[in-house]
Amino acid sequence: MPEQLIVPPPGNKVRLKDYDPDFHEDYDKKSANKETDRLQKRMQTLQEMLYAEGKQSLLIVLQAMDAGGKDGTIKKVFEGVNPQGIRVTSFKAPTPIELAHDFLWRIHQHTPPKGYIGIFNRSHYEDVLVVRVNNLVPPEVWQKRYEQMNHFERLLSDCGTRILKFYLHISKEEQKERLQARLDNPDKSWKFSMGDLPVRNQWDDYMEAYEAILTRCNTDYAPWHIVPANRKWYRDLVVTRAIVQAMEDMELAYPPPEDRLDKVVIPD
């Protein structure tokens, strides 16, 4: 695997400046899209096996700065996959009911049941991102959450859920271009929020918060992938490839047929 795609082993400090968001191996757009298409065909088969087997599940966590490409990744990577076996959850600001519970309560309800792929568009990691950067709770509260999230993910893993976490890594310059493109395109301007601007001004604080996540919550059972995401076509390839590799490792299989099917006669 190229060096730019290798996250340090658990416990090692991650520095995002060491990861080039423009990295794309030896691919160009045409060759990357061709490889992505090939992998998607395999993913379709693997997802059908996952659903049919009904013994395991897959949780995919997507995190990124605003305009980082979470929606686009979901749309592209999972096109052609049977939507009956996919559940996508987007986590917004918590509701009063959610705030009345522990911070993982609302998350656990949306983890995928056996046989399904669950996709989190943002996730429990917002509770050590926006909460940390904006001082919404005291440091002694959010500092404990890294280990609490590790324990939570360990529980999911022990119960048959494979976990893949992707940080879509774009540059600050690329984010500016994408936000401007939203403003300039009437069909995309609805995606622009005035709230994106103060968050952009906190870029360095968010990078520090992401580095803490990637350092403290990168585990063997729930690994982080730092995805160079300035080029959307390479981003999609990296995510698709990682998912297919993980599903291959799950050793999925169709369940055996019922006994005596060779004796069945379909009535007229």
In a domain, 113, yes or no: yes
In a domain, 268, yes or no: no
Looking at residue 9, its pLDDT comes to 81
Structure tokens at 85: 């076996």
In a domain, 174, yes or no: yes
In a domain, 260, yes or no: no
What domain count does the chain have? 1
In a domain, 23, yes or no: yes
- pLDDT tens-digit map of 5-64: 767 788 789 999 999 999 999 999 999 999 999 999 999 999 999 999 999 999 999 999
In a domain, 123, yes or no: yes
Looking up residue 43, the CATH number of its domain turns out to be 3.40.50.300
DSSP symbols for 60-90: EEEEESTTSSHHHHHHHHTTTS-GGGEEEEE
Asked if 223 and 7 count as a contact pair (C-beta separation under 8 A), the reply is yes
In a domain, 155, yes or no: yes
- pLDDT tens-digit map of 175-197: 999 999 998 888 888 888 887 88
Asked if 192 and 133 count as a contact pair (C-beta separation under 8 A), the reply is no
Domain range enclosing 226: 3-250
- Give the pLDDT mean for 63-68: 96
Predicted structure pTM score: 0.94
Distances (CA, A) of 237 to 44, 162, 199: 15, 20, 28
Residues constituting the chain: 268
Closest listed residue to residue 112, CA positions, set 44, 70, 51, 167: 51
In a domain, 122, yes or no: yes
Residue 121 has φ and ψ, to the nearest 5°, of -95, 100
Distances (CA, A) of 103 to 26, 58, 152, 244: 42, 22, 11, 31
Based on its alpha-carbon atoms, the radius of gyration of the chain, rounded to whole angstroms, reads 20
Say what percent of the chain tops pLDDT 70: 98
